[in-house]
Amino acid sequence: MEKTLTFEALVISFLRINNEPFALSSITATDPTLTTPRGLRVGDTAEALFVLYGIPVSVLDNVWTYGDGDYNIFHVTVRNGVVEQLWLHAVM
């Protein structure tokens, strides 16, 4: 079961597994005023993404994926060479 809080340019999702309390599962941002700890924001170029985060683990369609061990995954949607969406996902 999933619960979602939706704001103008931010979506926060929570997931419940086996009747456990809801846990944060992902945050998606499309607001250019929000940045990652390294300074990436929506509207930046794919080149800036590459400079800040390096080579992605995978690129599928328009989504660049970066991994942080087994549990944290960072996805970036890139269209026409521009960052369109940031998505941080915690694997449960």
So what's the pLDDT on residue 67? Answer: 83
Q: Where are the alpha helices (DSSP H) in the chain?
A: 46-53
- Is 0.85 surpassed by the pTM of this model? no
The tokens for 33 are: 């005023």
For 38-89, the pLDDT digits (tens) are 999 999 999 999 999 999 998 999 999 998 666 668 899 999 999 999 998 8
Higher pLDDT: 26 or 82? It is 82
Q: What is the residue range of 73's domain?
A: 2-90
Chain centre distance of CA 53: 13
| Number of structural domains found in the chain | 1
